[in-house]
A and B are shown apart, each in its own frame.
Chain A
């Protein structure tokens, strides 16, 4: 019995080690490439012949707008994170705690709206933003507006969490003379710290990957790009050979802070996705 378990464990260790290699390989490659001094796209060796910081120097050396793009993305991510969390808390509280006419209808309409693919409305949204002067140069506030405006529809996980907080607490507070606003502020929010952190974290991470809409809104206006748009263009440009290592360096700089943040808040993320998966 003990021997069989030992063999079993050995097999599991082997699989896990193999998996770890596969999972980490691209990241190791990315790091190594970012320090590569030689010119060229993907090369047929992993460890570069000369280590250099030339790619990082390029990013910050005024040769590109990289700092600007980085700042754009950071501003978008922070703003979206805060505003979206506020909106989702408001919607979740109203739908979870209050019973009003049209509540079911509202939830059903939002559910149906959510079944349409997001890119369908791209030209219409672009037009609306253009009317407000929020395209190209105004791409940053424009993207924030678009992300926040529709975020109310993503209330499911948060509402699911609010639903598990006993209603008797509310009733007791009302008897003590608390208003609904006070209940939300003084009771529900402090009790929901994990889910609020989860919501903010997910909202913060999304803008770093936003390529589709961001490229459409900032169309051709370099200073309005976010990192995803700018660097994806580097890989898809005709001069891909010249930009590939720079892409790797930029990718590392984008990935490091986001990854560290994620790892620190991983506990909350797990709680959020698990709760969301079960409650639907």
Chain B
């Protein structure tokens, strides 16, 4: 089933490619000299046909890209297979800087993407030429410059709106991610730091190190951290969900007064910046913190409870404190949704003699699960990457001798990744962990999303 699907996609791609190449050939064969020259000088045909704006844009883009590639990008791109060969060294007293692997990889990738973009633009340029030629042949006139510009605010408004966001996301998200994926296949770490040292491609070595359990590998630690990440995300998501729902139902109960006050009190935890509240709460449970102090004073315990030093206590406490943060959030959402359940349903359930628990299980819960499916999924994914709660409370501690690479017992994959980047400069392994986080996220999202009953046609609402 999957194979035929891929075959379909592949053959469709080649069919499309063949058709496109044929059309390029036709454009050349049937085109006049203006079009033919446009194969080399982009925008030439447009300029001569009076479409100055289009022509100049194309020409400027071609010039800019070619200038970038030859004056700048090529110097890096040519070394991308080796990531540099000349290390920084000393000649006498003088330090001679050699190749910088970081720059070679980053600008090499950028150059590749820019060249691909140029090929796409070139194709657009040919299409414009052919279209213009055919229009003229049929005796129609071409859109004027003024019309071209005006269409950027009407028919082509999407291009105007998306240009800046797409560019921003490319430079500050997509390119860095591609770069870091590549880093996972190099030996970039604290012994191979540009500009003083080179790093180079090492193939799958880092992945082997990750999964090679025992010996040099740290597979044990990885699965330990991954296991806790999943357990944490599960409890953090579902405990807050159900308890938050319970609180919302309680506040909504008939006869409860001051509804707004209760909600406002709870919502405080969303409003107050987390670094203030979590740092304070974290200190409250420290060995010399307020909680231990009072328990000692009242004589309930003899020695301070090591909340943050004991792995199990720390884990339970983190989940509990997360309830403090998470319950109000769920409560807000559920309160809004409770109003949407038809009151008649509850009315008839009451007449049939159902008790509150039964109405909850048969009416409220199914409705909520149906409606908030996507919310639960995003919450779960968000909790997998919930940096703030873990890091501000106890930085992933306590550390354990049995764990490799400075991992702590409450570290999530992301906090571990962060520590590797900041403390150990172990970029290659950080990149591998990042890819693993992506895989976990992607698999869970795909599986859950396809199981969800409320996945619906997005056009359905319009």
Chain A residues proximal to chain B, CB less than 8 Å:
5, 8-9, 12-13, 15-16, 19-20, 22-24, 26-27, 29-30, 41-46, 87, 90-91, 93-94, 98, 100, 106, 109-110, 112-113, 115-125, 127-128, 145-146, 148-153, 163-164, 166-167, 179-181, 184, 205, 208-209, 211-212, 216, 228, 231-232, 235, 244, 247-248, 251, 254-255, 258-259, 262-263, 266, 269-271, 273-274, 276-280
Contact = CB atoms under 8 A, between A and B. Distances in A.
Contacts of A118: 385
30 contacts: A5-B254, A16-B251, A16-B262, A23-B265, A23-B328, A30-B276, A41-B283, A43-B293, A94-B157, A100-B158, A106-B162, A115-B442, A119-B414, A119-B417, A119-B421, A119-B434, A120-B177, A121-B173, A122-B421, A124-B180, A146-B172, A149-B172, A180-B153, A181-B157, A211-B391, A232-B275, A254-B273, A258-B271, A263-B264, A278-B374
A9 B174 CA distance: 54
What are the nearest 5 A-B pairs in CB distance?
A280-B374, A44-B293, A152-B165, A121-B176, A277-B375
A135 B83 CA distance: 26
B272 interface: yes
A277 B374 contact: yes
Contacts of A5: 254-255
B265 A20 contact: yes
A212 B391 CA distance: 10
A118 B160 CA distance: 27
B273 A90 contact: no
Interface string B137-154: 000000000000010011
Contacts of B262: 16, 20
A98 B157 contact: yes
A270 B335 CA distance: 9
B274 interface: yes
Contact of A46 (B290, B441, B461): B290
* Interface size bracket, B side: 35 or more
Contacts of B441: 115
A26 B375 contact: no
A120 B106 CA distance: 15
B317 to A, nearest CB: 14
Chain B at the A interface: SS class: helix
B256 A13 contact: yes
Interface in B436-462: 437-438, 441-442, 445, 458, 461-462
Interface of B: 102, 106, 150, 153-155, 157-162, 164-166, 168-169, 171-177, 179-180, 247, 250-251, 253-256, 262, 264-277, 279-281, 283-284, 286, 288-290, 293-294, 296-297, 324, 328-329, 332-333, 335-337, 371-375, 377-378, 381, 385, 387-388, 391-392, 413-414, 417-418, 421-422, 427, 430-431, 434, 437-438, 441-442, 445, 458, 461-462
A41 B106 CA distance: 46
Given A12-B250, A263-B271, A94 B162 contact: yes
Contacts of A20: 262, 265-266
A166 B267 CA distance: 33
